[in-house]
């Protein structure tokens, strides 16, 4: 029995489940085989129970379909494959269609004599929450790409310390991670105005620590960070290769989790894929719930534009919003920038917002997007086309559903950009240039022999070159 059996099963699940469900519940599972049993290790009890409740039947069916009578028994456990089990950090989810939070407090796993932080002397930085009041759930447009992240964020805002702890939100730049993070903070404060909620970027944690060390105030640094009810840390990928700071953060993080104080983290990559961050810290990132925010699909991009225009009291005709959303695909920040430009032009000229007007106002932006086919753009387009995630293209996964699109994307990058083979390899998760060369040859060969790939390649090429 081999791991490839699980790979096949996971691939089928990936094909059948919405991307967010797959990355939230199936992707974090680690596997191990022993005799005739497949052990699936979940990062915590509620992921385990959720998988058991929602997907176990399907998993067994898929395993039987592939291995017949040889199909292994399946056992779900909490922990890591062939590693010391990771203790459960949060309460169990019950079996309704959306994750619900048990109202039971977390089993006490706190040290018996937990010294109370000295909050009187707090010279470092936690005097203010740093929250941006305009980032709220109310003005966060929901779409397929961010639905689960938003739902989890809402639960945490309503049950801080009791729902998912930590909550880890990851996704590319300008997709709304910071917006959601502040929304949680604002949500917690709306329910409990005296809660100590603190938002900061990981970089700031490091700066504070440097300051504290310099001024001999490390104890008060620790105390202030440990006294919060909710710590919201943006961009934790910044901790990469900063071992000393990681160490301190690790202790602060544990302290908070043990005290049922809420921790919410964001990063631009899946936690396990953050390079240069200690394994034990990465594993702890996954104790709660990890959710992805994907680039918004066309209808969400349209809805975001319409919503932002409405907030600015600007009448943006639907077909114009559609035109902009179709032309500018990369992220929400870019869409907002384009809308601001349109609004500025309208204010200056007093003209109506029509497609022609927008074409003119955004001419350079649209031209740049059309001319400049970047590897990033190719990866996003290919991922969208094959209904996989961009991170799959750069990951080490080799299942066919991911490997073939990756090869297609590499071949497109070779054809449509002037990047060298090693540069393309780098952009696809640090792969060797020979892998890229092999992908280009393979795709060329398939275009001649496989009608479907031929059509895929042509469609993608057309989309990217428009
Ligand atoms: N779903 C959404 N609805 C409304 N506005 C959104 C949405 N997603 C993103 N935005 C807006 O897009 C802009 C960029 O979002 P944000 O700063 O949260 O991105 P990010 O993922 O944190 O990016 P980075 O990784 O670069 O920090 C913000 O102004 C935010 O309000």
The encoded tokens of residue 362 equal 């955004």
Q: Is position 185 annotated in a ligand binding site?
A: no
Distance between Cα 137 and ligand 1 center (Å): 12
Work out the mean pLDDT of the chain and round it to a whole number. Answer: 84
When pLDDT is averaged across residues 263-289 and rounded to a whole number, the result is 89
> 232: closest CA among 269, 258, 195?
195
CATH 1.10.1750.10 fits 375-465, yes or no: yes
Cα(149)–Cα(20) distance, integer angstroms:
9
Q: Is 455 exposed, middle or buried (0-12, 13-18, 19+ CB in 10 A)?
A: exposed
**Residues in contact with 425: Cβ distance below 8 Å, sequence separation at least 6, in sequence order:** 431, 432, 433, 435, 436
The predicted pLDDT at position 321 comes to 96
Best residue among 151, 175, 295, 334 to mutate for probing ligand 1's pocket (most ligand atoms within 8 Å of CB) is 175
| Atom 9, ligand 1: residue with shortest CA distance | 176
The response to whether 381 counts as a known ligand-binding position is: no
Residue 127: band (very low, low, confident or very high) from pLDDT cuts 50, 70, 90: low
Please report the atom of ligand 1 found closest to the CA of residue 296. 1
Mean pLDDT value across residues 163-172: 91
pLDDT of residue 42: 84
Q: Which residue did the predictor score with more confidence, 94 or 331?
A: 331
417: annotated binding-site residue? no
Burial 335-372 (b: 16+ CB within 10 A, else e): beebbeebbebbeeeeeebeeebbeebbeebbeebeee
Q: Are 398 and 431 in contact (CB under 8 A)?
A: no
Least confident of 96-105, 178-187, 307-316, 399-408: 96-105
Residue 190 Cα, ligand 1 centroid: separation in angstroms? 21
Question: What's the confidence (pLDDT) of residue 20?
Answer: 65
pLDDT at 228 over 90: yes
Domain spans, the chain: 3-78, 147-293, 298-371, 375-465
Nearest to 76 by CA among 124, 41, 37, 34: 41
According to CATH, the superfamily of the domain at 3-78 is DnaA, N-terminal domain (3.30.300.180)
Q: At 162, is the pLDDT very low, low, confident or very high (cuts 50, 70, 90)?
A: confident
Is 326 annotated as belonging to a binding site?
no
User: What's the mean pLDDT in 219-239?
Assistant: 92
To test the pocket of ligand 1, the residue of 333, 340, 376 to mutate (highest count of ligand atoms within 8 Å of its CB) is 333
Note whether ipTM > 0.90 here.
Answer: yes
CA of 335 to the centre of ligand 1 (A): 10
Whose Cα sits closest to atom 8 in ligand 1?
176
Q: Is 268 exposed, middle or buried (0-12, 13-18, 19+ CB in 10 A)?
A: middle
pLDDT value at 459 more than 50: yes
Q: Measured from the CA of 175, which atom of ligand 1 is nearest?
A: 21
Contact 37, 309 (CB under 8 A): no
Distance (Å, rounded) from C-alpha 254 to C-alpha 240?
A: 18
- Cα(132) to centroid(ligand 1), Å: 12
Residue 174 has a pLDDT of: 92
pLDDT score at 312: 92
Question: How far apart, in whole angstroms, are the C-alpha atoms of residue 450 and residue 446?
Answer: 5
φ, ψ at 37 (rounded to 5°)? -125, 135
**Residue 382 corresponds to which tokens in the numbers above?**
């290919």
Residue nearest to atom 29 of ligand 1 (CA): 333
Model confidence at 336: pLDDT above 90 = yes
pLDDT of res. 4? 84
CATH architecture of 298-371: Orthogonal Bundle (1.10)
Of the chain, the percentage scoring pLDDT greater than 70 comes to 87
How far does the centroid of ligand 1 lie from the alpha carbon of residue 140, in Å?
Answer: 9
Q: Parallel, antiparallel, or unpaired: how do β-strands 37-42 and 30-34 relate?
A: antiparallel
Q: Does residue 83 register a pLDDT over 80?
A: no
Q: Which of 135, 149, 179 to mutate to test the pocket of ligand 1 (most atoms within 8 A of CB)?
A: 179
Fold entry, domain 147-293: Rossmann fold (3.40.50)
Query: Taking CB atoms and a 6 Å cutoff, what residues make up the pocket around ligand 1?
Result: 139-141, 146, 171, 173-179, 268, 304, 332-333, 336
Of the listed ranges 30-39, 77-86, 253-262, 449-458, the one predicted with least confidence: 77-86
Q: Are strands 73-78 and 167-171 parallel, antiparallel or unpaired?
A: unpaired
């Amino acid at each position: 029995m081999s791991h490839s059996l699980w790979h096949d099963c996971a691939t089928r699940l990936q094909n059948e489940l919405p991307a967010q469900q797959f990355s939230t519940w199936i992707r974090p599972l680690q596997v191990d085989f022993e005799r005739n049993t497949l052990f699936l290790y979940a990062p915590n009890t509620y992921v385990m129970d959720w998988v058991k409740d929602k997907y176990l039947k399907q998993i067994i069916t898929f395993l039987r379909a592939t291995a017949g009578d040889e199909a292994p028994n399946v056992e779900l456990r909490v922990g890591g494959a062939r590693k010391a089990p990771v203790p459960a950090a949060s309460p169990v989810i019950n079996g309704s269609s959306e994750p619900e939070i048990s109202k039971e407090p977390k089993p006490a796993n706190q040290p018996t004599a937990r010294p109370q932080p000295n909050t009187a002397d707090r010279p470092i930085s936690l005097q203010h929450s740093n929250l941006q009041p305009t980032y709220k759930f109310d003005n966060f447009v929901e779409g397929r790409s961010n639905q689960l992240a938003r739902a989890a964020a809402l639960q945490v805002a309503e049950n801080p310390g009791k729902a998912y702890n930590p909550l880890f939100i990851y996704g590319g730049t300008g997709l709304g991670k910071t917006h959601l993070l502040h929304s949680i903070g604002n949500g917690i404060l709306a329910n409990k105005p005296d809660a100590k909620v603190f938002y900061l970027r990981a970089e700031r944690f490091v700066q504070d620590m440097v300051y504290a060390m310099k001024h001999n105030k490390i104890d008060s640094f620790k105390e202030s960070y440990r006294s919060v009810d909710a710590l919201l840390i943006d961009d934790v990928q910044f901790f990469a290769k900063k071992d000393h700071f990681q160490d301190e953060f690790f202790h602060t993080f544990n302290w908070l989790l043990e005290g049922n104080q809420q921790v919410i983290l964001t990063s631009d990559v899946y936690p396990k894929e953050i390079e240069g961050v200690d394994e034990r810290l990465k594993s702890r990132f996954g104790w709660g719930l990890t959710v992805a925010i994907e680039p918004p699909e066309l209808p969400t991009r349209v809805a975001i534009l319409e919503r932002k225009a409405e907030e600015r009291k600007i009448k943006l005709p639907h077909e114009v919003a559609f035109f902009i959303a179709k032309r500018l695909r990369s992220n929400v920040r870019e869409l907002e920038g384009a809308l601001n430009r349109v609004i500025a032009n309208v204010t200056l000229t007093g003209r109506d917002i029509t497609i022609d007007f927008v074409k003119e106002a955004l001419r350079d932006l649209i031209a740049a997007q059309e001319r400049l086919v970047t590897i990033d753009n190719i990866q996003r387009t290919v991922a969208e086309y094959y209904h996989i995630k961009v991170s799959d293209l750069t990951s080490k996964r080799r299942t066919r559903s991911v490997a073939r699109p990756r090869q297609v994307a590499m071949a497109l990058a070779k054809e449509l950009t002037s990047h060298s083979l090693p540069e393309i390899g780098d952009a696809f998760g640090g792969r060797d240039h020979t892998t890229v060369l092999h992908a280009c040859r393979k795709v060329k060969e398939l275009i001649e022999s496989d009608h479907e790939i031929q059509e895929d390649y042509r469609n993608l090429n057309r989309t990217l070159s428009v």
